[in-house]
Amino acid sequence: MRCLYCDKEIEKLSLLNLLEDDLLCLKCRKALNGRLRRFKYENIYVYYLYEYDDMFKSILLQYKEVMDEALKEVFIYPYGSLFKILFKRYEALYVPSSKLKMEKRNFLAMEEIMKLYGAKKYADVLMRQELIQAGKSLKERRKMRDNYYLKRDVKADDYIMIIDDVFTSGSSISGMIEAIKGETKHLIVFVLAVVK
Ligand SMILES: [Zn+2]
């Protein structure tokens, strides 16, 4: 079997490796430097696995833009069991993409990944207007916050996990946090990578 990233033959070094079925070779897996960690943003824990470096960026791009669906297994794979235990009670709320981006994509990238770990979808999120995220002023970002519309009433004991691929402050995630953090105590964010 060949590594999905570098295309080199995956070496099976030990019995342990024989039992595993990582789609990346050991070298690429090591270079990705994944680890489940968290920080607080607006008093909400943001969990993530990778730093948004060149390697992560190119794998994510290959998955999303080239629509290489086999890659969906690569991102959470080593942390799959841990992930299932830690986030068992949470339901997934996916940050919507702008229509512009969606036209280029025929599958919902994060939903496809999360489904592998049994994540249930909490509710659909609609955007009232299509706004492009980058380089907006504070006032325009406020407008984005009001732009989200959840197709469900949030209850105080709902466990909600906001999901996106990459976290940058001032991104659409902060709008989503603002929109629901007063509604439930059980709100966390999970992203694959964080821009440092
Ligand atoms: Zn490789």
pLDDT tens per residue across span 93-140: 998 876 555 555 556 889 999 999 999 999 988 776 655 555 566 666
- In this structure, the number of other CB atoms found within 10 A of the CB of residue 123 comes to 18
pTM equals: 0.86
Please indicate, yes or no, whether residues 1 and 70 belong to a single structural domain of this protein. Answer: no
CB atoms within 10 A of CB 1: 10
CATH number for 44: 3.40.50
Q: How far is the CA of 10 from the centre of ligand 1 (A)?
A: 7
Q: Are residues 57 and 109 in the same domain?
A: yes
Please report the pLDDT score of residue 168 as a whole number. 86
67: CA distance to ligand 1 center in Å? 19
Q: Write the pLDDT tens digit of every residue in 144-188.
A: 556 777 878 899 999 999 999 999 876 778 888 888 888 999 999
Ligand 1: distance of its center to the CA of 9 in Å?
8
What is the CA(20)–ligand 1 centre distance, in A? 15
Does the pLDDT value for residue 141 go beyond 60? Answer: no
**What spacing in Å lies between the alpha carbon of 52 and ligand 1's midpoint?**
18
pLDDT at 50: 97
26, 94: one domain: no
How much of the chain exceeds pLDDT 90, in percent? 55
Please list, in sequence order, all residues whose beta carbon lies within 8 angstroms of the beta carbon of residue 70, skipping any fewer than 6 positions away.
4, 23
Ligand 1 geometric centre to CA of 32 (Å):
10
Phi first, then psi: give them for residue 131, nearest 5 degrees: -125, 140
87 & 123 share domain: yes
The number of folded domains in the chain is 2
**Residue 77, pLDDT score:** 92
Quickly tell me which residue has 């659409």 as its tokens: 172
Query: Angle at CA 22, nearest 5°, toward 16 and 25?
Result: 95
Task: Give me the domain span that covers residue 10.
Answer: 1-32
Task: State whether 13 and 40 are in the same domain.
Answer: no
pLDDT of 72: 95
Domain match, 28 and 49 both: no
26 and 122 part of one domain: no
Same domain for 78 and 23, yes or no, is: no
Of 135, 131, 106, 123, whose CA–CA distance to 163 is shortest? 123
171 and 74 inside one domain: yes
Regarding beta strands 125-127 and 148-150, do their DSSP bridges make them parallel or antiparallel, or are they unpaired? Answer: antiparallel
Ligand 1 midpoint to CA 34 (Å): 15
